[in-house]
Structure 1
Amino acid sequence: MPQFRLLGPLEMTVGDRVVNLGPVKRRTVLAALLVDVGRPVRVETLVDRVWDDEPPAKARDVLYAHIARIRSALVGSNVVVERRSGGYALHVDPDQVDAHLFRRLVAEARAEDCPDERRATLLRAALDLWQAAPLADVPGSWAAGVRENLEQQRRSAVALWARTLSDLGRPAAVVDTLRELVTAEPLAEPLLVELVRALHRAGRAAEALDTYARARARIVDALGVEPGPELRAMYEAALHADERTEQPASTPTVTAGESGPVPAQLPADVPAFTGREPALTELTERLTGPRPAGAVVVSAVDGTAGVGKTALAVRWSHQVRDRFPDGQLYVDLRGYGTEPPVPPAAALAGFLTALGVAARDVPLDIDERAARYRTELSGRRLLLVLDNASSVEQVRPLLPGSPTCATLVTSRDVLSGLVAVDGAHRMFLDLLEPAEAIALLRSLVGRRVDDDPDAAGELGEQCGRLPLALRIAAELANARPQSPLADLVTELADHRARLELLDVGGDPRADVRAVFSWSYRRLPDRVARMFRLLGAHPGAEFDAYAAAALADVDVSDAVGALDALARAHLVRPVAAGAYDLHDLLRAYARSESDPGDDTEAGTRLFDYYLAASAAAMDVLYPAERHRRPVPPAIRTPLPVLPSAEDARVWLDRHRAVLIEVAQHTAAHGRSDVTGALASTLYVYLDNGGYSADALTVHSCALDAASRAGDRAGVAAALSHLGVVYWQMGRYPDGTDHLERALVVFRELGDAVGEARTVGNLGVICQQTSRYVEAEEHHTAALALFRKIGDRVGQANTETNLGDILMRFGRNEEAIDLLADALEQFRGLGHDGGEATALTNLGEVHLSLGRPEEAAGYLRQAVRLFASIGERYGETCALNGLAEAELGRGSASAADRFAEALALATTIGERAEQARAHLGLAQATDRAREHLEQALALYTDLGSPAADDVRKRLENLGT
């Protein structure tokens, strides 16, 4: 029977198979029927739900076509879409739809006669159905309304679950979940009540008081009222329980979830984990035992490859995670793979982002980045797992400075310097004991181990008593359920002798290779070939499309091969549709491959990633297709991306591997691929605020082009880097890179590159209030764009010039120029450009004292920016709309400024943060506080606006 998921991205599964539901509108039709299972939904209602207020000309015909396709997908199941009086009804057992099952479980739990233990079980089962935001991939206002309704039901269920467990005497079990939800919903009083209650009952009264103090400040600030009576009552209960009266609640310390997101990066716990009790106990004693005051807990686990260091670290981390309510950070440092180890700077960037630091605020210098990282960790109780480290130098910048954190490092190296200098506790992880090896085999194979314990013991020895090899051997045994283990032991022994793989020194890694070979030789030829070629993939993860490109096969064939490899434990599923290779297996795959095959496979793979990235960008930014490199022609099918949101999701999901491709190709002399990929992703990285990633990609492109003597590539990379620095507020660096690029573009006679670079120099002048220079640059850029016939560049430049003319008081000229740009953008289908022109038109009308007209333009801009996910533009438009509302005397101005500030903070856009603070200084009664924030931001940016803010502060007096 099919199962339907609404509590996350919309999904239909039959058994283990995910059914392709087609384009986004068809999925929306199905969602609209599933929400009202068993009840007829009128055609008019379906049209409204699917297309909001903008249905196509023949909406009914399109709707009927979608329903016909849905019916086809449901043939042979117990699900029926029935035509009913002016509409349609979908009939299915409600328990096959997770949202309806969720409601039933919660309703049963709310029954008055439901025992507390049963209530807790029911609620846990209901909450475990949630995967992500409901209908996460379904757009439109109707879906947003359903999403909010279900989220409210979830909050209510979480509050009841937390209260139930607290009443059962298990308050500590709910704290992490409540902190995570309170971080996302800081004004949700029912959740705050239960969090304070749980902390109080867990004996953590000081944390309960701190949590209440912060919550009260937020509620008073946002709503202008005191917290409700239940939350105040819980505060009083915690207050009377707290004996540490020297720390009043009005001066809270940093507490879990209050200073930022609560990361939960641990990989899934290891199935069938066996043994290692002494090691687990030793790690826990190190964590809880006595240590010098202020000491940071660092444990370093070393041992040979495949011995189970990562499995031990992950198992132990899950066991002690409740001791770290502020979260867990994890990184695979790739210390011993075929690709270069993860640089400490890159790991720091990932950690800072997970801790809530906007990408644009991540420092570039590694020492500054490490300092910011230690600042973010200060006072927070986090667990850090640094897996697969290659050296002390790779680890040391990642160590926290706060004694409230603990760090666990795994490595094949003993990391003596970490022990000597940083006080790490070293623990050597040896091979499994013989009894532990047999126990692991028993958990994986079953009773056959007890039927022939001698054979099981011999198999454990043949696998070097290494967990990785034992799991692969167990899968081979399970594939032959009728064969006794003794037969497999004999066969493996013969095979090892033939291959002469055993080392006379008894190196267990030689045994591992023998087991790999034993498993690999039994693969069908097509699957074995896929395994060999996967060793050439540069990234940590890959999917079926990438595998198909490597092997030059259909995607369906790639899916089958990957499934076979996963069953043999030769690849590891890590997410829906994504896999990776253990570094030992990757090395073994490379050793079995032919260098010529690897080279051809790598070329196919890089061409695929270029073509797929270009296809996603064409959907997301169709009007700028001519500005991107022409993608290579490939035989591998590309992912189906029917909407801009689908394209954005694909790019977000693959961003990490695309960066690794850029690094790999730059390091291996493929500057053509690196440069093309950087140019293709330029707008996506820029508009998405992924400044650290953009710096990595464009720096790789610059290095590769410089080594190859590619002057055009050097100029493009310099230009891109200039824009990244400008977006980060590093205007001198941005200007330097753009001016260097301009010299090269002019030497090459590249008018397109020259025009774009001159225009970007004009934007920097704009940002730094040098309007005369800005006008000169934009005027020159406009002439160049008109000469070469680049309509997008022309319209962009007219938009920027319109803003400059407005600042000179030449408003009517500005309106004419912006109206022309708006018309061009609409003709080009360039939504982002249209929204920018609307924003600037709103600003001009605002400067003319026409707040009503300005608000009209700016509302359109906000909606358009939001619909295409351009957060920087949305922030600017929100600030403009708030200023228009302020001019109209509307009470909503403060809310709009607050929205703009929140979004600007999220993406790290400091100039718009400052602008929002200036607006809040006018729209609220906290003028001094907001002016001080604006002054700090403008000063940090080196903006002349700081002088004006300073004068306004002086005028406030003391």
Structure 2
Amino acid sequence: MVELRVLGQVEVLVGGRPLEIGHARQRCVLAVLLVDANRVVTMDQLLDRVWAERLPHRARQVASNYVSRLRRVLAGHAEIVRLGGGYVLRVDPEAVDLHRFRRLVEQARGQALELLEEAAGLWRGEAFEGVETPWIAGVRESLARERFAADADRVDLALAQGGHAALVAELTERADAHPLDERVTGQLVLALHRSGRQADALSRFHDLRVRLADELGTDPGPELRELYQRILATTRAAGPEVPRQLPAPPELTGRAEQLALLDKALLGTSGTVLITAVAGAGGIGKTWLALHWAHRHADEFPDGQLFADLRGFAPDPPLAPDAVLFGFITALGVAPDRVPTGLDAKAALYRSLVAGRRMLVVLDNAAGAGQVVPLIPGSPTCAVLVTGRHRLASLVDRYGARHLPLDVLTRDEGRALLITRLGADRVAAEPVATDELVDLCGGHPLALSIAVRNAVTHPAITLAEVAGELRQLGLAVLGHTTDPAASLPAVLSWSLRGLTEEQRTAFGLLGIAPGPDITAPAAAALTGLAHNALTALVEASLVEQRPHGRYGMHDLVRDYAATTVLDGDAALARVADFYLHTAHAADVLLDPHRTLVRPGPLTAGVRPLPLPDADSALAWLEAEHANLLATQRVAGALGLHEVVWHLARALDTFHYRRGHRHDALTSWRAALVAADHLPDPTTRIRTHRYVGSACSRCGLLEEATEHLDRALALALRHNETTESAHSHQALTTVWERRQDDRRAYDHARQALALYRTLDQPAWEADGLNSVGWFAARLGDFNTARDHCRAALDLHRRHRHPIGEADTLDSLAFIALRTGDHDQAVDHYRSALALFRSHGNMYEVANTADNLGHAHAALGQHEEAGTIWWTAWELYREQDRDSEAARVRQRLNDLGAPRGGPPSARAR
């Protein structure tokens, strides 16, 4: 007896033994002939079905050869004959499993279970296993649909005859493979129900309903919904319970905006369960907010409110979802001995019990999404309010949950909290101390409550005393020896429990990072860890993600983080290296003509931030200014003298251009201390020169002269021509401010003479401009004009735009003094544009001031007033009070309004 099979591997059996039918291509030829057994398959059809568009050489001959070999294999059992330009495989259809399958299904017509079971038994796997062509793939897909339909008819008959127990495993596999098929899910739900597994049956129904809604936007059909209601009725036979599990409502201060957002998120209409996750740091007031809202709207959930403290961050271990579900199910009226075992079974029964009911579920203090997901109802009539220190991003991704971050209280809210605790009269009596307390606690609700705890129980203690103790002792005041929940350090420590060792290390190091905030590249240098450690801390609400790629901590959280660090010196040295080398690269971009003084080699593993151009360098220095100053202070405390000095120098151009005179002086004074520990005498020369220039810009002219004279004397002693030239140049400014133009002119000439020996065109141009400027101030305008024009040519030839702007300012001054006021205006405007384009706001202020004089000389008083307002605003921003007062007086003389120009008042 011969068997020809395609419902599995393509094979031929004779007497139960397989015949060798050759390689895959030859089996494919046989499969094509078997599918159309007893019908003609033309040569063109055969070639297309076996080879598609990749025909072999002499394709017809090859096909004929394959047919000939198959004739020999099938000899005596079936025959292949040439007919009508093709081939026919003549065989009894019952010998071919495919045709026998179709005959059995047709004969059964959904009535005869035994015939369908016999048909199902013919399948040994996927049709045409081991053979693959486009045509085969299409036929295989069609046969899979036939098999699926036949199996569905078979299962219906088997269920009708009570075969549910034996079908559960098969139907579970089929439902998992076809999750959107309502017929299959209905068969499984019925089989589970009849097997006594109501919870699993209801769970399967809810899973399908969610999938249909999410993927197709539809609901299950009426037959499946009717089956679900029948099962649900048996589960609810004891009658529904109405649980009221909310704890007592807490006092809540402020939070009006957050309460309104909860209203919008949890009281709206939706096709899915409404979920809001409130996230924030420990002690920030998440539970207070959630319970206050829940009590305010309890009447809108008439079928009950469920509550669970998941203990995600508490002295005790987190509560397992299995235990929470047991409590919820029994609260909903199911006897304890009838609660199913296993997390999935409990979750399914829970979802069934709350289905269609208007209920609120409050899940407080969640450790993570894994703890929450099994507790989410499947019914859109329910609302879920989750609180936790993690952001629970997967709830947002998977369930469309609303994320509500909770931050600190505003000053007004903090004051209101103290009024609640202490009474309005007591707070009103000490308004300054009240504000200081709110500020010292950073608006942190738990910190404020702990801080005034003694004041609540001891009315004689003043708020000024409380604030003073907090100011002196900081985080230590906010601890508690017997009640961990009333200790801010203890509450914060619970957030570390779910972190990895690396993440805890990163948390501690971020607590000692220099500056008010940090970027991801700087954090990587500090911690030596990948970005995902920082992301995990944001997720845990220990670190705040701020705009423009910056990260920060609440001051109290930062103080606590610092207490967890055992030794952070190496980390601080790494981040200092990151800031230093990036700042150095920025400084080179801002002023490429400066003497290049490289910092030491980079620490292994530290990567400075790449800065493509001067604009990005200026933007980075602006954004990181506070951190860079803090880094210099930290480096000084650690004895990193090279870092201290090089940071001062890397910031010098930026400080000058932005008018940060006092920051520059502080920075260089720190560098002067560091220079005493460095071996290179040139470093000390430079430092005295830079300190002198910084003193000069701050109006400390005597001190400036002393430092610059010292720099010049050291430079001469060590034959440092470059430093001698720079020191003479710096002294010109000091003597100008000391109103001795003749002495300034002498230093300018000496600087120029030295610059000309150094083959540095930009410096020579600076020297020419300086000589020209002081010649003009002394009334020698021909000499002034010649030197300044030569300087302008050099600056332009060597692309030194700041030097060009300086020289244009000098030429404008010469034009103004010689009566060519129009040319003065033109030169000043050109200089102003160059200074602005390179971010040199210090000189923008000076040149704007000068341009006003040129306009005034032309009688253009409105233009003079407008540009003087600009100068006045910049002088004020740069704390240049005497210059601002001088310009303000000129504006008064013009009759300008006291409040400034309309544009200034609008800003």
Q: TM-score range by the shorter chain?
A: 0.3 to 0.5
TM-score (norm 2): 0.47
Higher CA-based Rg:
2
TM-score (norm 1): 0.45
